């Protein structure tokens, strides 16, 4: 839950490469000007995850708010919380009107090119990394790849490193190669950084060497249970009602509305490129028993595919969100990879191991003609999808 944004913060341009690295290797924001699909159901899940409180039954339904809302993405700005360094994005969306939905649609891409850095390393902090007496132990390959080379004619080899964080603050560290066996360490300046950022074992730190020969520094906090909410923060119910009411008003008036997306707190992306949605929903056939694979972020910013089997297809919440594609696929994960993986996923998150056209649809990926008449909105096409 972001703190209020000051004028200076709002107009400060954050480093996109560092923002994406802190957000995670699977995060890619949609392109400004593109068409996207907004899922209020997914937005509610982010609030539930952030406040550690599920949506209550007494929160009103909004019948004119479809489970998926096709919008134009007018603006995206990247932010980092001034106190916690938690990254989040602010997006301005506008639902398409019936005429715009009938216009010819040529999707440009399935998402912008990933802005993830290439020359970086991420390390989960150990207890010794966060102690006030020690330093930060840097894996040898990571130090050689990301840090400027040490002069090994010096004894011991050492240098001063200057790294900028998301807020533009510069941190100074002494990088030294010493010990038995010899290893790379950040010493002087490291404990100051740990204290200032309130880092604990389990949090992660990442360093990037960018194309401008600058060293950038970011953090990712380990998930911690939120026991006490700040008094300035609205109640969970108020937040659920606020986001649903804002989206419902925008849907009925085709007006702009603003949402916040927190990639580390949100279980799934709830604003996705329209082309990605269409490809998954109307150009991919799935069935119970089908095998699939799905990308997951693993330790220290790596990515790995996990395998599973589709066990069912149904609404996640048939009462509040009927005919929604949000996490409509029930899955069973291979036993060795089960862990804490979600029992439900969305179509666009998975890669079925067998794909062929689903069924004739009035919405091919590249329309050569206007929308068929009588098709006021995309969500009407989903009434009988299963």
Higher pLDDT, 242 or 172: 172
> How far apart are alpha carbons 265 and 52 in whole angstroms?
10
Residue pLDDT, tens place only, 75-120: 999 999 988 999 999 999 999 988 888 876 665 544 445 577 889 9
Pair type for strands 158-164 and 215-220:
parallel
Higher pLDDT, 94 or 301: 94
Locate the domains of the chain by residue range. 120-220, 284-357
Residue pLDDT, tens place only, 151-182: 999 999 999 999 999 999 999 999 999 988 89
Tokens of 182: 């010899």
For the chain, report the end-to-end CA distance as a whole number of angstroms: 36
pTM, entire model = 0.82
- Burial pattern 39-68, b for ≥16 Cβ within 10 A else e, equals bbbbbbbbbbbbbebebeeeeeebeebbbb
**H or E, element range at 195:** helix 190-197
Task: State the average pLDDT over residues 53-71.
Answer: 79
Domain 120-220, what architecture? Beta Barrel (2.40)
> How far apart are alpha carbons 307 and 292 in whole angstroms?
6
**Domain 284-357 is found in CATH 3.30.479.30:** no
């Amino acid at each position: 839950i972001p703190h209020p944004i000051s004028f200076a913060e709002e107009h400060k341009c954050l480093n996109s490469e560092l923002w994406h690295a802190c957000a995670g290797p699977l995060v890619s924001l949609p392109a400004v000007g593109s068409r996207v699909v907004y899922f209020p159901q997914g937005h509610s899940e982010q609030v539930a995850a952030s406040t550690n409180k599920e949506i209550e039954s007494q929160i009103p339904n909004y019948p004119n708010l479809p489970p998926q809302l096709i919008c134009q993405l007018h603006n995206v700005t990247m932010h980092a919380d001034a106190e916690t360094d938690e990254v989040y994005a602010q997006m301005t969306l506008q639902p398409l009107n019936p005429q715009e939905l009938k216009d010819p649609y040529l999707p440009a891409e399935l998402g912008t090119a990933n802005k993830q850095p290439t020359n970086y390393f991420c390390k989960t902090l150990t207890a010794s990394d966060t102690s006030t007496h020690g330093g930060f132990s840097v894996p040898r390959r990571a130090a050689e790849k990301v840090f400027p080379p040490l002069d090994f004619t010096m004894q011991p080899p050492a240098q001063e490193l200057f790294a900028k964080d998301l807020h533009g603050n510069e941190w100074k560290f002494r990088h030294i190669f010493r010990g038995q066996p010899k290893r790379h360490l950040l010493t002087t300046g490291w404990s100051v950084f740990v204290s200032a950022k309130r880092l604990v074992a389990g949090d992660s730190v990442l360093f990037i060497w960018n194309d401008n020969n600058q060293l950038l520094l970011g953090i990712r906090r380990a998930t911690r249970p939120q026991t006490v909410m700040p008094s300035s923060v609205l109640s969970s119910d108020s937040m659920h009602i606020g986001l649903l009411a804002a989206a419902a008003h925008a849907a009925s008036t085709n007006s702009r509305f603003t949402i916040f997306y927190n990639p580390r707190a949100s279980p799934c992306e709830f604003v996705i490129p329209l082309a990605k949605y269409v490809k998954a929903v109307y150009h991919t056939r799935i069935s119970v028993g089908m095998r699939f694979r799905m990308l997951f972020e693993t330790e220290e910013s790596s990515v790995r595919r996990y395998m599973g089997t589709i066990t069912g297809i149904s609404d996640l919440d048939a009462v509040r969100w009927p005919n929604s594609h949000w996490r409509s696929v029930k899955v069973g994960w291979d036993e060795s990879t089960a862990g804490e993986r979600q029992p439900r996923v969305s179509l666009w998150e998975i890669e079925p191991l067998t794909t062929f056209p689903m069924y004739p649809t009035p919405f091919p990926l590249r329309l050569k003609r206007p929308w068929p008449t009588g098709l006021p909105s995309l969500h009407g096409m989903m009434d009988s999808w299963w």
